[in-house]
Amino acid sequence: MNHTSYFSTLKNDIPASIVVFFVALPLCLGIALASGAPLFAGLISGIIGGVVVGALSGSKIGVSGPAAGLAAIVLVAISDLGSYENFLVAVVLGGAIQIVFGILKAGVIGYYFPSSVIKGMLTGIGIIIFLKQIPHFFGYDSDPEGDLAFQQIDGANTFSEILMTLDHISLGSTIIALIGLGIILLWDNVLTHKGRFFKIIQGPLVAVIVGILYVIITSKGAALSIKSNHLVSVPIPDSFDSFIGQFSFPNFSMITDSGIWITAFTIALVASLETLLCVEATDKLDPEKNMTPTNRELLAQGTGNILSGLVGGLPITQVIVRSSANIQSGGRSKLSAIIHGFLLLISVILIPRLLNLIPLSVLASILLVVGYKLAKPSLFKSMYSLGWKQFVPFIVTVVGIIFTDLLVGISFGLLVGIIVVLYKSYQNSHFLHREEAENGIDKVKMTLAEEVTFFNKGAILRELNSLNDNSFLELDIRKTRYLDHDIVEILDDFVKKYPDHNIHLKLISERGIIENPNSLIDFFKLAPKKS
């Protein structure tokens, strides 16, 4: 570890860690609520995700914590397994399985997601963050922070929740949210260019401080005050013993239960996939373009999940919302993630009452800006300019995430991306050149691509079947390094029937030229040589 380089970035990492702290705090609590787990469990996983995973990870700007994508799985698992303590066994085992994934170098999977799908994921999450914060911005908090699915746990969906907000606007929450948003925009667009002080002290911190002061000043004014259910709600222990009592511990007597192991594998698979997707996305957002070692990331996440499960925390993944907030706030090294974890720990122990004076609407104003920066309209224009092969998987991923959830949306985008690849493979299997007919004989030159697989069967069959009687076909396979047996069979079937149509065939290969062969099966047993 290069301590000198880490300390040289402290001036960037400390302000960024404070912004990430304010983003992470309501998300930790909201995801715990959405998961049907104790609120303190969300804070535990946020602390471990910052301090432990942040220290072990090879990512400079990724931030880990409880994941919204696992909330539905956790909610069902706690009910099915009988208790939260039983569920914690699955979290510990899930972490151990992730470590096995890391040892087996399964992190390589992360490199196989198309760029268009990753950009679609970032944009889709940005839009979802923006849409989900609109009700909180106006003081309608029926759906907890961190619920990013289209179908919400309160029975509404993303758009019906926004419509219902019109009937539940809180004047006090809206006023301070507008003030907070104004402060953040003023800071971002004007004040950061006026001096170093405004870069060290971030706009979101000022917005939160103003929000706390507003709550204190208006606490006795009924019209403009903000009710407690519109404020952050951190558990407040009465004593040290009651603080320790908030921790839960796994019931390892259930370790042989098959349901525990099924849940553990589910957690390991989903958490690993979400982490690898987030790693790819944050590496694309990283202005310094660092590459995160994915296998090391799985080892770090697995270790974090083992510790989280042992002390009562939720499953952990790397999370794009926190990571993007870190990048946007100027985070430069892993110290930002680690410091944010310590801030969570220290504040929960020392100042929980002060935290509970933070209006959720002010935190919503911070997340609105984060969401907008992830989904700027200019990105749609740039993706469209790249052509339909990039734009279609991109837009399908965006729409899928908005109307379903993260993993389903990614799956839709990936499926479309695969279809695009197959279509282009279908198109690019060969090059065809037709010459002017001479003496009533068509001359066609077909050059096969370097790799020709069964995906190309349709395209090659179409060309062969389109040949007119009395034609001359020159088939060039000199550049072909792999020829699927399905294609060999197609060509051999053609050889058997072309005499009936008076078609002359010249086969050109690295082994020479063959005129009107009787069969190609034996010829291709030697196969085009491998590169």
How many domains does the structure of the chain reveal?
Answer: 2
**Statement to judge: residues 505 and 358 lie in one domain:** no
Residue 404, in any domain of the structure? no
* 435 and 321 in a common domain: no
Percent of the chain with pLDDT over 90: 52
- The answer to whether 279 and 31 are in contact (CB under 8 A) is no
Distance CA 431, CA 449 (A): 7
DSSP assignment string, 425-484: HHHTTEEEEEEEEETTEEEEEEEE-SEE-GGGHHHHHHHHHTPPSSEEEEEE-TT-SEE-
The reply to whether 59 and 146 lie within a common domain is: yes
Domain that residue 437 falls in: 428-525
* Cα(368)–Cα(366) distance, integer angstroms: 5
| 340 and 448 both lie in a single domain | no
Answer yes or no: do 235 and 347 share one domain: yes
Size of the chain in residues: 531
| 176 part of a folded domain | no
Q: Read off the pLDDT of residues 98-145 as tens digits, 9 standing for 90 and up.
A: 999 999 999 888 777 888 888 999 899 999 999 999 999 999 999 988
Mean pLDDT calculated for residue range 453-477: 82
Same domain, 51 and 138: yes
Residues 6+ apart with CB under 8 A from 206: 183, 187
Query: What is the mean predicted confidence (pLDDT) over 317-327?
Result: 92
Confidence of residue 303 (pLDDT cuts 50, 70, 90): very high
> Are 432 and 372 contained in the same domain?
no
Are the C-beta atoms of residues 402 and 158 closer than 8 Å to each other?
yes
342, 76 in Cβ contact below 8 A?
no
Query: Does residue 294 lie within any of the structural domains?
Result: yes
pLDDT at residue 247 tops 80: yes
Q: Write the CA distances from 511 to 274, 449, 527, integer angstroms.
A: 50, 17, 10
Q: Is residue 283 part of a domain?
A: yes
Q: How confident is the model at residue 531 (pLDDT cuts 50, 70, 90)?
A: very low
Q: Let me know if residue 132 belongs to a domain.
A: yes
Report the predicted TM-score, pTM, of the whole model to 2 decimal places: 0.80
In this predicted model, which residue has the larger pLDDT, 167 or 526? 167
Q: Are 456 and 313 members of one domain?
A: no
Cα–Cα distances in Å, from 357 out to 33, 135, 202, 219?
A: 19, 19, 19, 10
Give the whole-angstrom CA distance, residue 284 versus residue 101. Answer: 24
Q: What's the CATH code of the domain at 503?
A: 3.30.750.24
Are 37 and 150 part of one and the same domain?
yes
Q: Which DSSP category does 421 fall into?
A: H
Question: Token match 């395209």: residue?
Answer: 459
The residue among 383, 418, 443 that closes a domain is 383
pLDDT at 419 over 70: yes
Q: Which of 41-45, 285-289, 453-457 has the lowest mean pLDDT?
A: 453-457
Are residue 378 and residue 446 in the same domain, yes or no?
no
Is the Cα torsion angle 402, 407, 410, 411 positive or negative in sign? negative
> Residue 64 is inside which H or E element, if any?
strand 64-66
Same domain, 161 and 293: yes
Same domain (yes/no): 366, 452: no
Is 196 within the bounds of a domain? no
Is residue 46 within 8 A of residue 65, CB to CB? The reply is yes
Burial of 112 (0-12, 13-18, 19+ CB in 10 A): exposed
Distances (CA, A) of 425 to 128, 393, 415, 442, 454: 34, 16, 15, 27, 10
